[in-house]
Amino acid sequence: MTYAAFRFAALGGTLCATLAMGSHALAAGIPAGTLIENTASASYNTGGPTQVIDSNTVSFQVAELLDVAVASQDASALPITSTTVLTFSVTNTGNGPEPFVLTANPAVSGNDFDVTIDGLAIDSNGNGVYDAGTDVLLANGGTSASLNPDESITVFVLVTAPGGTTDGQTSQVRLLAEADTGTGTPGDVFTGAGEGGVDAVVGSTGADDDDVGSLISSVATVSLVKSVVITDPFGGTQPVPGAIATFTLSATVVGTGSINDLLITDAIPTSTTYAPGTLTLDTNALTDAADTDAGEASASGVAVNLGTVAAGTTHSVTFQVEID
Partner 1 sequence: MLNRIFVALSLVLVMQLAVPMAHAQSASAVSLSGDVKVIRTVDENGTARTVLEEPSQVIPGDRLVFTTRYTNSSAEIVEDFVVTNPLPKAVMLAEDGDFEVSVDGGKTFGRFAALSVTLEDGADRPAELADVTHIRWTLATLTPGQQGSVNYFAVIR
Bridge pairing between strands 116-122 and 35-38: unpaired
Q: How far is the CB of 209 from partner 1 (least distance, A)?
A: 17
Q: Based on the shown chain and the rule CB under 8 A, indicate whether residue 41 belongs to the binding site for partner 1.
A: yes
Q: Could you tell me the smallest distance in angstroms from the CB atom of residue 33 to partner 1? A: 11
**What character string, x for contact with partner 1 (CB under 8 A) and - otherwise, covers 209-238?**
------------------------------
The single-letter code of the amino acid at 277 is: G
Q: What are phi and psi of 153, to 5 degrees?
A: -125, 155
310 lines the binding site for partner 1 (CB under 8 A): no
196 near partner 1 (CB under 8 A) = no
- Any contact of residue 185 with partner 1 (CB under 8 A)? no
252 burial level (CB within 10 Å; 0-12, 13-18, 19+): middle
The stretch among 46-54, 138-146, 243-251, 271-279 that binds partner 1 (CB under 8 A) is 46-54
Q: Provide φ and ψ at 11, rounded to 5°.
A: -55, -50
| Segment lying near partner 1 (by CB under 8 A), choices 50-58, 111-119, 171-179, 308-316 | 50-58
Asked if 8 touches partner 1 (CB under 8 A), the answer is yes
Q: Does 24 bind partner 1 (CB under 8 A)?
A: yes
For position 109 contacting partner 1 by CB under 8 A, the verdict is no
Say whether residue 292 binds partner 1 (CB under 8 A). no
Cβ atoms 38, 57 nearer than 8 A: yes
| R_g of the chain, CA atoms, integer Å | 37
Select the span of 99-107, 115-123, 195-203, 210-218 touching partner 1 (CB under 8 A): 195-203
Distance CA 208, CA 260 (A): 43
- Contact region with partner 1 (CB under 8 A), list: 103-111, 176-184, 199-207, 248-256: 199-207
d(CA 78, CA 75): 9
CB of 199 to partner 1, least distance (A): 5
Interface with partner 1 by CB under 8 A: which range of 63-71, 160-168, 249-257, 265-273?
63-71
Q: Which of 63, 68, 72, 76 is nearest to 31 (CA)?
A: 63
Q: Which residues contact 112 (CB under 8 A, 6 or more apart)?
A: 165, 169, 170, 171, 217
Nearest Cα to 137, choosing from 123, 121, 148, 151?
121
- Tell me the CB-side half-sphere exposure of residue 105, using CA atoms within 13 A: 11
13: three-class secondary structure by DSSP: helix
E runs forming strands in 180-291: 189-190, 200-202, 208-217, 220-231, 244-255, 258-267, 272-274, 280-281, 284-285
CB 182, min distance to partner 1, A: 14
Stretch that binds partner 1, among 32-40, 131-139, 212-220, 223-231 (CB under 8 A): 32-40
38 binds partner 1 (CB under 8 A): yes
DSSP structural state of residue 107: -
Determine, following the binding rule CB under 8 A, whether residue 151 of this chain makes contact with partner 1.
no
Distance CA 254, CA 55 (A): 82
Nearer to partner 1, 27 or 107 (CB): 27
By CB under 8 A, tell whether 13 contacts partner 1.
no
Q: Which position among 147, 157, 193, 201 is part of the footprint of partner 1 (CB under 8 A)? A: 201
Among 40, 107, 139, 263, binds partner 1 (CB under 8 A): 40
Which residues of this protein are in contact with partner 1, per CB under 8 A?
Answer: 2-8, 11, 14-16, 18-19, 21-26, 28-30, 34, 36-47, 49-51, 53-58, 60-65, 95, 189, 199, 201, 203
